[in-house]
Structure 1
Amino acid sequence: MDSVDTEQARTFLAVVAAGNFVSAAERLHVTQSTVSTRIRTLETLLGCRLFVRNKGGTTLTAAGRHFQKHASTLVRTVEQARHDVGTAKGFRAAITIGARMGLWEQFLIRQLPELLAKAADLSVRAEIGVEADLMEGLVEGRLHIAVMYTPESRPGLKVEFLFNDRLILVSTRKKRRAELDGNYVYIDWGPEFLARHSTSFPEFFGSALTAGIGWLGLQHVLENGGSGYFPFRLVRPHLEDGKLHLAPGGPEFTIPVYVVYPADSDPSITGPALVSIRRAADMEKAPG
């Protein structure tokens, strides 16, 4: 009998991460029929059904839940082998950490020197992505740790709350009251932010510029003028030097930040990074 290969395991994990065959196909850049064929072949090889398909997407069967851990191990082993082969001489292993750009800035980036110093035998790879990319990377084993706003609950992954990010409305012009004018830049901080933003500004139907990366939106505002919602830790220096001003009466939003990692991860690899990330989170939670 043929054996399960990494392509089939990766396709299985992509369906788990995406929640349905269509989205999994988009992530893998293949057709839906290709995904279906790979899953059917995998189910034939294993002699069991892995998914139940319904209107809401796909749900793992009991056999599928058992196989997920093996699929993750298979893909992770191949990825680890690739990392080990590519690990720079003199390092024991490599760790890959992913996060949104806005969570690297003034947060994770500050802990990298400490991590590199305290875990001198590890080489670190830093990646940027949105929640869907980060979750997929964790499920497939490409990422050891990911920091994000809205993680999905997936078997085998541990989700840990870090701190609440404080989003404030700032502008390059002093305003008498908070308003979303023609120079307002909408930053996509995720579904939680969208829901709260829509409730607070029911008459807002979109802006001329929408940015998926906070850094890009902030640079545009600073260079061309305008306003937008940004984490306080990002704009604090600009508020202090007068380049930005707090919009009076503007509602503030808080979005929880989480760190996600495999429950069975090797503590000798992920441990030092998690300690640094938690320390950074404690600094964010401290008054002032």
Structure 2
Amino acid sequence: MAAAQNNDLNAYDKLLFKHIGHVGSNKVRSFWLGLTGGRTSSAPTRDATRRYYQQMNRLSANLALLSDVSMAVLGGSLKRRERISARLGDVLSQLYLASAVLKRYDDEGRNEADLPLVHWGVQDALHQAEQAIDDLLKNFPNRLVAGAMRVAIFPTGRHHHAPSDKLDHKVAKILQVPSATRSRIGRGQYLTPSEHNPVGLLEEALLEVMAADPIHQRICKELGKNLPFTRLDELAHNALAKGLINQEEAAILTRAEHSRLRSINVDDFAPEELATKPVKLPEKVRKVEAA
């Protein structure tokens, strides 16, 4: 742009051909990484996250190509085509999120127990980024250019899927069972149980329910029945009367039931509280309406 403004034709030609070469390089790199799934690109590690770095290299090359071609084809109208530019932004945002996940994993010592969280975070981000690229190509106004870019970006089709149900289950288990990983990712939270801190009360309920679970299982084994994990206070009373548990264990079951109900119950109102009632207007208001 400076060369064009200064009417420096030689510098302009030199820079123009450099830029064309850069775009061509991005196209070749994007095609090659798409063909190989990014396996030929470098990665800073050789552990379970290595492929994520390579896949991010591929998507970064895709984004560079899409940005260059979009600017060349659409020019200033790219600003007005907000859905096209927004999808470019989506790709960048998801790559940033994937980078943040990998950086935190590295900063915190690469604990293998954290890997389900890393897998979920990066897989979701890469899937969303690839989906944004696919949507952009489907809606690119120049269909000929869109077809050429699709060949360069997805020579063997799409690669990334959303996290599986099995991985969802692993992540949910980490969040539901106290562990070093759970404590580390939740550090800084205010978890003191108090009337005005529902998160703290929920954490307290989790711990009390977990303490009650082995007692509940033992009662079920003694009775030869699979009893539902509800009405633990009644279960405690009956089990205590039969000598299946002691007073301390009965108290644990009762506290767990209280915390469980406190966590899941919602506000309830009597029918008469919800009924509409006629409103008696003041005398002055009735006179004004009559007039």
Q: TM-score, normalised by structure 1?
A: 0.23
Name the structure where helix makes up a greater proportion of residues: 2
Q: TM-score, normalised by structure 2?
A: 0.23
Structure with greater contact order relative to length (CA < 8 Å, sep ≥ 6): 1
Higher Cα radius of gyration = 2
Name the structure where strand makes up a greater proportion of residues: 1
